[in-house]
Structure 1
Amino acid sequence: MAHGIADEDPTKKEIIDSPKVIDQKLEQLADWIRNAKHFIVFTGHIPDFRSSINTILPTGPGVWELRDHPGVKRSPTAFTVNMTKAIPSATHMALVELARQNLLQFVVSQNIDGLHLRSGLPSTLIAELHGNSNLEVCKKCQTKCLRDYRTRTAVKAHDHQTTRKCSKCRSTLYDSIINFGESLPKQELEASFEHARKADVCLVLGSSLRVTPAADIPQMVGKRGGKLIIG
């Protein structure tokens, strides 16, 4: 089940390394990836610097914070972004290349933007734990339909029916988004933990690791003695 975030730890501070230290750490990371037996990547938000979409949005508290802290008010400058205009970034494409070279075994994503699949990453190499805003599924015949538009049409949080029908069995299609209090997709979650049990190197990109149970996946790698790199 998708849970909210914990309170901020005031003792934790962001550390900014010098360019020299960053280069040294990148060389070490590259060496770990080359020599890894099972390398996985856990992704949160990966900025898209090549599109017209801002990578830092003045939205104020997000939906997770608003849910867990009812007294917090959303910023009056908050706005929404049309993610269908986004394109895969250099980071997305780098992961595709690592997979092509058989250096990357699996990607676990908290994103719903669908950019990993649009980048060309094979669907067999990714678990989208919180769904995909472009994906709708048929619960009867298990057909999956990947669209070039946002599939969600429902207004109520736990209503996932879309206005479309399955082309194979004509049953109702459902969006794949996971909202608060809903269970994460069983197959994707099991695959994620299975790869975490095998992984000796895990790279975390763009995630605070505060939303469970997704955050438990990279932590499992670290607890097993694997290398856990948080970027």
Structure 2
Amino acid sequence: MPTSLHPMLVFVFSQIFDPPEELERKVQELAELIRSSSHVVFHTGAGISTASGIPDFRGPNGVWTMEEKGLSPKFDTTFENARPSKTHMALLGLQRVGILKFLVSQNVDGLHVRSGFPRDKLAELHGNMFVEECVKCGKQYVRDAVVGSMGLKPTGRLCSVTKARGLRACRGKLRDTILDWEDSLPDRDLTLADEACRKADLSITLGTSLQIKPSGNLPLITKKRGGKLVIVNLQATKHVASLSSQTGWESWVGGFKPATPAKHVEMAGPPGRPAHPRLRGRGDDQADEAPGAGGARVDGAGGGGERRAGQGRAAAGAAEGGVPGPAQRHGSAECREGAAGAP
């Protein structure tokens, strides 16, 4: 067990697939749940990005699974060249037609933003490797390339915001937004996510085992307030849901006509930088306790007293190569002022 790489024990679980007829029944049930709900919130983890070439953590080819076998994780693309999957685009489509009210993500790969998903409807709890933030005024910059640092550290660039009436620029230091293990979740994103979950009458989780706290507790808020919880994941979870399914999320949306990506999605980043596990984050698949055998489980998630270990999502293990160097390009595709949403 590579405990030197991971502060908490790593449990690797086999994937479970529902039979086709069972999957079809659950899809119909999910569709009815969505139709009958007025405030739907989605929660996403590493599993939805595997189709984009970025491995998860505890799947058959996951980062920690491979490390457990003494093998190097396999990345099929670089982070800059990764493109949103059908699932990312389906979520964007649901948002555009007013079904999806808010999206909470544990992922740091930036694929939701690159799909064109509006940032004021999105909470990225563990950061975004393409985003840097001014420590002075809070303005955020969305870059075309990985910003090149992790752990809320300075990136070496300065804020370009100019004050009113042509006065001097802010010139505050920019830092990355990727959390390390000891870092607390960003106040703005956590507050928005918490508010959304309290309003929701249906929370749907995709590709996350809900083991990391406090992120994993958020969908349970909806359930505890009388709403419904749906879990879609290839590994069993310990939580009792209104509906749970073991399937690949791409199979759920294979017949869904995806929304058209925003134009900035097509901007190719510099080639050659690997989708590095140290920057990928361990936001969703880390298990801090082993669940029982498959099937529904007693809801074991507690309240705010649970340990906050695992809030840092930047270090998925000391894989070879170290943290990538500074980004090769820094053109800003989008900016956000502090706590305000999209510009």
| TM-score normalised by length of structure 1 | 0.83
Deviation at 1:137, TM superposition (A): 0.5
Which secondary structure does the structure 2 equivalent of 1:85 belong to? Answer: coil
Partner of 1:107: helix, strand, or coil? strand
Counterparts of residues 93-108 of structure 1 (less than 5 Å) = 93-108=89-104
CA distance in 2, matches of 1:205, 1:146: 25
Q: Look up the equivalent residue of 2:156 and give its one-letter code.
A: T
The amino acid of 2:121's aligned partner reads: L
Q: After superposing the two structures, state which structure 1 stretch, 81-90 or 122-131, moved more.
A: 81-90
Unaligned runs of 5+ in 1: 63-72
Provide structure 2 residue ranges, at least 5 long, that are not aligned to the other structure.
1-6, 162-169, 233-343
1:78 match: 72
CA drift of 1:58 comes to: 5.1
Aligned: 1:150 with 2:150: no
Which residue in the other structure is 1:161 paired with?
154
Distance 1:114 1:159, change over 3 A: closer
Matched residue SS, 1:230 = strand
Q: Which range moved further: 32-41 or 158-167?
A: 158-167
Does the 8 Å contact 1:48/1:88 carry over to 2?
Answer: no
Tell me the equivalent position of 2:278.
none
* Equivalent AA in structure 2 for residue 135 of structure 1: V
Partner amino acid, structure 1, of 2:186? P
Measure the CA separation in 1 of the matches of 2:152 and 2:31. 44
Find the counterpart in structure 2 of residue 23 from structure 1.
24
Q: 2:63 — aligned with what? A: 59
- Percentage of pairs with the same residue: 38
For residues 65 and 175 of structure 2, the distance between their equivalents in structure 1, rounded to whole angstroms, comes to 28
CA distance in 1, matches of 2:71, 2:10: 23
Q: Is the 8 A contact 2:129 2:178 kept in 1?
A: yes
State the alpha-carbon separation in 2 of the partners of residues 100 and 159 from structure 1.
Answer: 32
Contact 2:133 2:175 in 1 (8 A): yes
> What residue in structure 2 maps to residue 47 of structure 1?
49
Distance in 1 between residues matched to 2:83 and 2:21, nearest whole Å? 31
Change (3 A) 1:227 1:159: closer
Residues 125-204 of structure 1 aligned to structure 2 (within 5 Å): 125-153=121-149, 158=151, 160-168=153-161, 169-204=170-205
Q: TM-score, normalization: structure 2? A: 0.57
Distance of aligned partners of 1:163 and 1:61 in 2 relative to their CA distance in 1, 3 Å threshold: farther
CA distance in 1, matches of 2:8, 2:26: 29
Mapped to 1, the partners of 2:124 and 2:152 lie a distance apart of: 19
Deviations 1:120-152 (A, max 9, x none): 110011000000000000021221110011113
Consecutive aligned runs of 4 or more in structure 1 exceeding 4 Å deviation: 4-9, 12-15, 51-56
CA displacement, residues 95-144 of structure 1 (integer Å, 9 cap, x when unaligned): 11100110000000000000001111100110000000000000212211
User: Do the aligned residues in 2 keep the contact of 1:5 with 1:210 (CA within 8 Å)?
Assistant: no
The Cα of 1:83 is off from its aligned counterpart by 1.6
Matched letter for residue 64 of structure 2: G
- 1:8-65: CA deviation from partner (whole Å, max 9, x where unpaired): 59xx98653210110111111111112211100000011353x555676453359xxx
**Alpha-carbon distance in structure 1 between the residues aligned to 2:16 and 2:141:** 42
Amino acid at match of 1:163: G
Paired residue for 1:69? none
CA contact (8 A) 2:159 2:172 kept: yes
Computed over aligned residues only, the root mean square deviation of the Cα atoms, in angstroms, reads: 2.5
1:127/1:150 CA distance change after superposition, 3 Å: same
Once residues 109 and 91 of structure 2 are traced to their aligned partners in structure 1, the CA distance between those partners, rounded to angstroms, is: 16
